[in-house]
Structure formats: C-alpha cells, structure tokens
Structure 1
Amino acid sequence: MSNGLILWVDDEVELLRAHIIFLEKKGYHITTSSNGPDAIELCRHQTFDLVLLDEMMPGLDGLETLQRIKEIQPSTPIVMCTKSEEENIMERAIGSKIADYLIKPVNPSQVLLSLKKNIHRKEIITEVTQTSYQQSYQQIAQKINCCNNYRDWMSLYKQLVHWELELSDTNSPMTEMLKMQKEEANIGFAKYIKNNYEHWIEEQTASQENESRPLMSPDIFKRKIFPLMDHGEKVNLVVVDNFRYDQWKVLSQEIADLFEIEEDMYMSILPTATQYARNAIFSGLMPKRIADIFPDFWVDENQEEGKNLNEESLIQTLFDRYRKKYTFSYHKINDSIAADKLIEHIRDLENNDLNVIVINFIDMLSHARTESKMVRELANNESAYRSITKSWFQHSAIADLFAFLSQSKHKVIFTTDHGCIRVTRPIKIIGDRNTNTNLRYKFGKNLNYKTKDIYAIKNPEKVLLPSPNISTSYVFATGDYFLTYPNNYNYYVSYYKDTFQHGGVSMEEMLIPLITLTAKNKNRKI
C-alpha cells in the first residue's frame, strides 16, 4: 500500500536517485520531472499528495512553477527546496503558501520528515492523541472520585475540556470514552453541589471569604473589579452571555497575539440563567436581595418584561453601596450594528474608570439552534458549536472590538454569567400552570417528580432565591437531563433533545471562565 504519491521537480533529478530509492522503500510512489512545464502538465493529469519543488531551475523557475501548480491543485502541499537562503525568496515562497521549506543539500531523513508532517500529520496526531488520552484515562477516573473541593473540580473540568478539544480534531473513537467520563464527572459534580451550595450562600451572606467557598457571581465586582480600580487600573469588563469554558479556549487562540492571558474560574449561582446570574454579578447581590431591596429592578419570570433591562442601574447601586466614585459606562451589543456603533465611539470610553460591555450573540445562537432546523444542522454537535463560535468571532465586529480594546489603557476582564449544556435525557415533572417554562430548572408549588437526577431546594430563602409564595420550591436538572411535562411528552422530548440549555447543575453551566487580558503592545496601530 502506497503512503502517498509524490511529484519531485528538480533540474538535477538524476542526482536524487538514492533519495528516491530511500523514499520508495518507505512506501512512497515517486514521479519525477526535470523542469517546470513538464511538472505543470503532470499536475493536469494526476493529483499528487505532495510536490517537492526545486526553487532554482532554468526556464520556468520554482516560484513561477509553484503559482501555476497552485492554480491546478490548490490543496496539494508544496515543499520548496533551494540552495538560496535569501530572505526575499523565502518570503515570496511563504507568501505563496508553501507547506514547508528545505535548504539544499537535503538528506533523505529531512525529506521523509517533511512528508510525514504534511501528508500524515492528521493520522500521526490522532494516534498520539489517542495514546495520550488512554494513558490519562485512569488518572482522570481517579480524579473524578477524589475531587474534594471546588479547585479540584475546576482542575478536572479544564482537563476534560483539554481532551475534548484535542480529540475533536481527530474523529477518534476515544471521544465516546471521554463523553462517558464527562457524564460520570457531572454526576459527581452534582453531588458536590448538593452537599455544599447552601453552605456557600450562607458564607456569602455572612461575607466570609474563606478558602472553602469559591468565588461566585455576586463576588465578581467586590473581589475582581474594585481591587484593580482601587490600585489605579482602568478596566473594560466584557461579559459574553451564555459562554462556556471550551468556547473560551477556542476564542483565546484568536486574541493570543493581542493580549497576555491570565486564566481563572468562578462558580455561577443557581439558577444558571441570565436573569439570576448576570443580575447577581452587576448588583453584587443574590436574587432575593435584589428583589427585596430594589423591587423596581427585579422582574418576575411570569412577567413579559425583559429580565435584564436594569443592569446599568444595578451597577450604580453597587457603586453606591461600596461608596465608589468611579465613572463607568454600560453597553449592550445584540448585533453587528450595535458593535459598529460602539467601535465608532471607542475613543470616548478612554476617560472612564470602567466600561461594561455585554455581548449577547452566543445566547442568541443557543436559542436559535433550538428553534431553527438549519442552525441545528450547522451546530449538530459540541465541536460544531465551538466552530460556529470561532467563525462568529472571526467574521464579526467583535474581533475589531477586541483589537481596539488591545490599544486601550484599560485592563480587560473577560467573563460570562453562565454556560450551557447539550441536553439528551428527559425527566417528567408535574407543576401547576404558574410553573416557569425553563427546561433546566423549575420553581412553583407542588412540583412532582420521580428521580434522583435533580437538585431540589425546598426552602428558597436559604439560598436567597425569590419565593412568590410560602410553598414555592426550586428543582434543578443535573448532568444532561432536561425537565418536561407529561402533556405532549413525546413531541417536546423530540423537539428539545440535543439542544443547548442552561439553568441547571453541570460543570458546563456553573464553572465559568474569568479571564484577565493585558495588552501585549499598546502602541500597535489598528
């Protein structure tokens, strides 16, 4: 079986016989040509896996031949071989998108390495990645059983996301093993939340900042934003709604050349929904406290009014409560028009101590995926969902926004309010007509369910959640479950299965990226 079909173009090709014999013994089929025109003609009749091309040939030289071959076979990798080390020749070759560059005299091992890198790269990466994950499998399994605190869970989640990203590029059967490990981890994480969540809220209420309690939504300004500002830093706080850690890892590759990146995590409050988690960030208060102290700024779920229309006002109450005299601005970006408008006036923000920028695209994407068959097809799995996130960033005004932010004197804090999880398994639940419609959490009177795969809170006041009446309770779906009513059960199960939802208890929803970005080069021109 051939390892690949190679075209080697060199005006002294007869001197390369030893190299060709070596490569043929390694399983490659080598076709040779002594000049550019003949090579171009060969490419018209035969598709090659790789072309080795001499740069210095009489008549049609290597660079001209390169351009002509690229027109015929644009996806075929071309490796340039040359005696010249002149910078301008290298730049022209690289600019023509060569796959590799070898300086003559080349030895057979160099050529073989280049072939492996450019023809067999994917297979080699797949094999190495699979082997590495297999070696880590048992260690991850032990870690799942030994997580004792929130740092352990955050570390485990980062490790699982790392392998998810590594394996997603390989079409590896190991992805199914990883999926099972992630499900097992989420089972353990749900138990951890059930055992600790109420204690954390009690400590948060008592302002106990001990090491056993994670940083949570209401702590972000007090613990992360105000300390920077108190030390003279100006801050741009960017909050991307409904944004997961794996999506951040993809986006971070796009901005790594602009910023020094410092990663951290925090824990979202429950429910992991915008109305609760984001209002908690901007007010520095748990939801019940917002409803009690600022009833005009809290909107009950059964009201049609938008649930996050008062964020700027809540930020002001937080500043007032902590007696902060800093200047701030607030901006919400729902589309490219709003992003372009903000960019037009970006210089006006330089004098503010804090600029808060809320970006809603990802949340809209997850809802669109639920409601649109076409979007569901485009984002039909976790990898595709991340890919759409990356494509959105690359081709939206948000990429331009980050480029401008990298020129600001402000430090950038990048985060989200909660994540989401792809739900696959239904749980039947019965409630009265006033029960809310979210698929990952319900609250109401006399909620009826028969499963252990939920986290039930009988006394909402203990976790500082609003309670419309004395018998209200909250239930949260764990893992990849979703809550649905018995009425039209099969229809709703079919409609919502494999959609991305939020509001419940999972690592994906609760373990939140909290990123500090410091510009690498504030003098770079945009």
Structure 2
Amino acid sequence: MAANGKSVLWVDDEAELLEPHRMFLRDKGFFVESATNAEDGAELLRRRGFDLVLLDEQMPGMRGLDAFREFREIAPNLDIVMVTKSEEDTTLMEALGADVGAYLVKPVTPRQVYAVVARLLEGARIHHQALARRFVERFRALQAESFRDLDWRGWIDRFTELTQWDLDLVAACETGLTETLRGLYPDMRREFATFIRREYPRWLRDLGGGRPPLSVDVVHEFLLPIIDRDRQALFVVIDCLRLDQWRSIEPSLTALFEIETTHYFSILPTATPYSRNALFSGLFPCEIAARFPDWWGEREDETLNAHERDLLGAQLAELGKQVPVRYEKISSAQEADDLERRLGSFFAADGIGACVFNFIDLLTHGRSESAILYEVARDETALRELTEQWFRRSAAFSLLREAARRGVKVLITSDHGSIHCQTPATVFAKRDATPNLRYKFGEDLRAENPDYALSFSNEDLLKLPRRGLGANTLLATGDTFFVYPTKLREYQSRYRGSFLHGGVTPEECILPIALLTPR
C-alpha cells in the first residue's frame, strides 16, 4: 500500500500499453491495480475499496458510461475519471451529465493522468496545507498590526478579512488555527467599542462628513440607483444576518447572479426596532418619533416595525420617487408557503418589491428558549451551517431564483448582526429600565464593570428619542449580556451562549449589502 494510502483502479482493455502510466502513478506514491473490462473492474470494487477509478469509455462488452453507473451503485462516493479516444461533443456531454470527476481524451501522458489523479485525491490536502501556511504568515502580521489605527474603512477591511479566514479555516477543518484566529477577537471587539464610542457621535453630528454608509443611507445610496435605471427592483432584508452567514449562503447564488458586495454600519442600538426602521425610513429613531409619533411608542417590540411599508414609501416620496411598493414580511412557514404560491404575481408589476425574512432573528431568539435549537446552533460555525440549510430550502431562495429568471436586479442586506454571548455583565438600574440584554435605557443606569458597556447620558448623541431627565443608555460591548445582581444565576444559566444583538461589536454593526445582477 502506498504511503499516502490512496488507491487507484484503472479499467481499460489496453492495460499493457498503459503500464508506463501506472508505473508513474506508483512512483508518486499511489497504489494502482488494473482490470481489462468493466465486469472484472466491478468485481474488484466489490472485493475492496478504491479511492478513484480511471475508466475507459470504449471497451468490449459493457460501455464505459454503463460501467460508470454500476460502479457508482457499488461505491456512491467514488471519484471516477472517464478516459476515451472520442473527441465528440456528445460523448463529453454524456460523461459530464453523468457527473464524472474528470474527463481525459487519449492519447494522454503519464503526467497528465497524474495531474488529474492528484487533483481529485490530493487536491484538498494540498489546498489545506497551502491555506495553513498562508494563514500562519498572515497571522504574524495581524498580531503586529494594531486595531487602534483603523478608520471605518480599515475596520471593514480587517473584519471582512478575519471573517473570510474564519470561514476558510473551518472549511479546511483546521481547528487549532481557527482557535488561534479567534484569539484575536476579544481585542478586536474592545478596540471596536473604543472606536465607536469616539467616532459614532461625530458621524451623527456631521452627516455630510467622512463617515461610513449607515442604515439611514441604504435606500438612497444603494436601492435608488437600481430603480433609476430599471423599472423593477427587489429589496430583500434578512433580519439578523451576520457577515459570515452572508458569505456562507452567497455561493448558492453565484450561478444565478453576478454579485457585488459592499458594507455599511448599522445604527445604534443594533436592534430591529431601531436599525430596520432606520433602513426603511432613511431616518434616525428620534426623527421617526418626531415625524410619525403615532408609529413610535414606548414599547420596544415588533409593533415598532409595523409600518415599514409606509416608511419606505414616505422615504421614496421624499427622494422624489413616486414608485409603487409591494411589501412582504415573512415570519412563519405559512407566510413563506403563501409567498411561494404568489411568486408570479409578486413580480407582475413595476416598482420595488420589498421582502423581510425573519427566520434567523427568530432562530437566535428561540435558541435561548429551546434546548434543541441550542444544540443544533451551538456556536458560530453551527449557526452558519443552519443558515445555509434554511436558505437553500427557503422562500427567500425561491424569490431570488424567480428574480434571476425574470432579469430583476436584487439588493440584499441585513438590518443588524448578532454576537455569541458568554460573559455576564452586572448592571444596576431602576425599575423603569428596559429589559433588553445587549442595550438598556433608563434612569441612573450603570455597569459594574465599565469595560463591559458604553454609556451615553445624552440621547441626542445617538439620535434616539428622548426619555426624560436622568435617562441614559447602556450598550453592551464584547460578548457580554446584561444581568441584574438579583437575577445573576438565572440569567447566566438562561442566556450564556446565546446569540444576541443590540450592542457594539463588528459582528453586530458591520453588515453586508449586495447587488445581485441576473446572469
């Protein structure tokens, strides 16, 4: 057996002529066995496992493609390379349609055969080794580069880079290197909170100055240019979608769309009543409360997001666009099924079709209450995998496929992200304090450890509705969640390990926004 443990079965009636090729593979460390017909090849497969089969397409007896199907029945996950003398397109298309691993046309050199075999059997290992080497080299530089010197563009670049490394290392099963990478996250989050404490009030004081796109800019900067050029556009908001979750579902869309992804910052707090209303209205919360007082009350629940269609229409009118708006909010399986039944009519008229999908937000909230959900979404990696599984079977994906089929451009984004919380942060508050776990409003609020929260005593700095004298705002930093001294153990057992939002971390604040152009 070869040192690398990889074995190859070569099925070809010209076995003697191919001995130099087999010797070349053996010299490269592969175990190679041969058969001169498909029947003998099938028998060898039944007796022992092989990692790859090189299969001649034109042999006496059973055709290569028929043999391919039989071999796949014996070993469903087997890599099979079709080798043929035929250069006809029909043969090639048949082979590709049968999902062969690769296709070689004779005559072939030993090195050509080796290149295909190595790619299929060793490609992943070689790629993972190269990835690990690149990461180790880059990690040394990342350790030396300070987060403190970053401006908002630098924060986007750094966070997107770390997110991609996380995705790549997890995909390569590099557990140790993934943990090494995540060792940078606590410092990243601390410095990000310091950055936001310093810069966010300045951004809001000088909206025309050097600042990033915020929630209030999404429609004007990203959606309006689409509707200026086209008669129809689809605007999709997936509530609570983090950047890493977007990166995990993006490959499902690349066959349908050309994708241009950029990023924006959520307003604070990074919670649905604030960030998503700002997104649809183009207004900060204090402006919504002043302009539409009947739509903004003291209760901070889903009722504050009951007027998103009207807010979007009002924003478009203020921007000089009298555009028809169709709006759907999908929060249940029944609503998703209903939307899928109406896809044709949804795209029947010109204008903007706006859809909000609440699954991920419902998942992160429900995870704190359900032991089953907690188990299947135990950490960031599991949450990404669950997001992928949902998306591929979701009404959101069906909607996007229909948009691609009809040639409708799509703007897809999130309203805020979430953070995997592990650290309880004790806060002291009066009875009027709001109950949220990552942000609080109330009189005389303070955190026992000031490093665990940003405190603002003036709502005007954050453009939030005023709550009266003595009221202040606490926003959680890092992976903390707020607990009261009297309920410390209860909150720890219930919420430790939860995915929460409303605070100040890159995961909650830095969001993807992607233009999808049908291919």
TM range (shorter): over 0.9
Residue equivalent to 1:461: 460
Give the TM-score taking structure 2 as reference length.
0.93
Residue equivalent to 1:356: 354
CA displacement, residues 210-240 of structure 1 (integer Å, 9 cap, x when unaligned): 2x11111122233333454456654322111
Structure 1: how far apart are the matches of 2:495 and 2:85?
62
Following superposition, the deviation at residue 322 of structure 1 comes to: 4.3
Residue equivalent to 2:404: 406
Following superposition, the deviation at residue 46 of structure 1 comes to: 0.8
Deviates more, 1:90-99 or 1:67-76: 90-99
| Amino acid of the structure 2 residue aligned with 1:90 | L
CA displacement, residues 240-286 of structure 1 (integer Å, 9 cap, x when unaligned): 11111222222221122222222221110111000010111122221
Contact 1:143 1:156 in 2 (8 A): no
The answer to whether structure 1 residue 169 and structure 2 residue 168 are counterparts is: no
The answer to whether structure 1 residue 311 and structure 2 residue 314 are counterparts is: no
Contact 1:258 1:403 in 2 (8 A): yes
Residue equivalent to 1:329: 326
The answer to whether structure 1 residue 37 and structure 2 residue 39 are counterparts is: yes
Structure 1: how far apart are the matches of 2:302 and 2:203?
31
Structure 2: how far apart are the matches of 1:347 and 1:147?
51
Q: C-alpha root-mean-square deviation of aligned residues, in Å?
A: 2.2
CA displacement, residues 124-174 of structure 1 (integer Å, 9 cap, x when unaligned): 121111111122223333444364321111111111112111111111121
Distance 1:399 1:507, change over 3 A: same
Structure 2: how far apart are the matches of 1:326 and 1:481?
43
Residue equivalent to 2:425: 427
Structure 1: how far apart are the matches of 2:352 and 2:71?
54
Residue equivalent to 1:46: 48
CA displacement, residues 422-474 of structure 1 (integer Å, 9 cap, x when unaligned): 12222122223332222211221222322213211111222121243311111
| Amino acid of the structure 2 residue aligned with 1:65 | A
Equivalent residue runs for 1:130-149 within 5 Å: 130-145=132-147, 147-149=149-151
Residue equivalent to 2:61: 59
Residue equivalent to 2:372: 374
Distance 1:68 1:232, change over 3 A: closer
Structure 2: how far apart are the matches of 1:32 and 1:438?
67
Contact 1:301 1:436 in 2 (8 A): no
Distance 1:9 1:320, change over 3 A: closer
Which residue, 233, 251, 254 being the options, matches 1:253?
251
Following superposition, the deviation at residue 396 of structure 1 comes to: 1.9
Following superposition, the deviation at residue 108 of structure 1 comes to: 2.2
Deviates more, 1:154-163 or 1:481-490: 481-490
Deviates more, 1:152-161 or 1:381-390: 381-390
Equivalent residue runs for 1:21-32 within 5 Å: 21-32=23-34
Identity of aligned pairs, percent? 35
The answer to whether structure 1 residue 192 and structure 2 residue 195 are counterparts is: yes
Structure 2: how far apart are the matches of 1:192 and 1:462?
15
Contact 1:144 1:185 in 2 (8 A): no
The answer to whether structure 1 residue 129 and structure 2 residue 131 are counterparts is: yes
| Amino acid of the structure 2 residue aligned with 1:373 | A
Residue equivalent to 1:512: 511
| Amino acid of the structure 1 residue aligned with 2:420 | R
Contact 2:148 2:191 in 1 (8 A): no
Residue equivalent to 1:20: 22
Which residue, 222, 225, 231 being the options, matches 2:223?
225
What count of residue pairs does the alignment treat as equivalent? 514
Following superposition, the deviation at residue 323 of structure 1 comes to: 5.0
**Partner-residue secondary structure (3-state), 1:306:** helix
**Where has structure 1 moved over 6 Å in runs of 4 or more?**
none
Contact 1:144 1:156 in 2 (8 A): no
Deviates more, 1:291-300 or 1:489-498: 489-498
Give the TM-score taking structure 1 as reference length.
0.92
**Partner-residue secondary structure (3-state), 1:437:** coil
Structure 2: how far apart are the matches of 1:320 and 1:63?
61
Structure 1: how far apart are the matches of 2:430 and 2:232?
49
Distance 1:351 1:144, change over 3 A: farther
